[in-house]
């Protein structure tokens, strides 16, 4: 999975998701060259859910079926 900036350049390529205890690790490369491992902690995940609303959830589901 790749994440892009508004100008279309690649910010991060996520190559693996792994569980480590109660955290989710995202492993990949940032800016096409720098290896990076990011941690997603449970409290941050809960905070992320507070950013969602019904319209955004529907949009995220519909993204699965877009080209």
pLDDT along the chain (67 residues), means of 10: 92 95 94 93 92 94 93
Residue 63 pLDDT: 94
Residue 62 pLDDT: 96
DSSP class per residue in 37-57:
EEEE-HHHHHHHHTT--HHHH
C-alpha to C-alpha distance for 58 and 38, rounded to whole angstroms: 27
C-alpha to C-alpha distance for 32 and 18, rounded to whole angstroms: 21
How many domains is the chain built from? 1
Residue 32 pLDDT: 85
The domain in which residue 56 lies consists of 2-63
Residue 67 pLDDT: 87
What does pTM read for this prediction?
A: 0.72
């Amino acid at each position: 999975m790749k994440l892009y900036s508004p100008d279309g350049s690649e910010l991060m390529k996520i190559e693996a998701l792994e569980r480590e205890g109660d955290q989710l690790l995202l492993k990949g490369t940032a800016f096409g060259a720098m290896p990076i491992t990011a941690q997603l902690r449970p409290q941050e995940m809960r905070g992320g859910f507070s950013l969602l609303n019904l319209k955004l959830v529907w949009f995220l589901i519909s993204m699965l079926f877009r080209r």
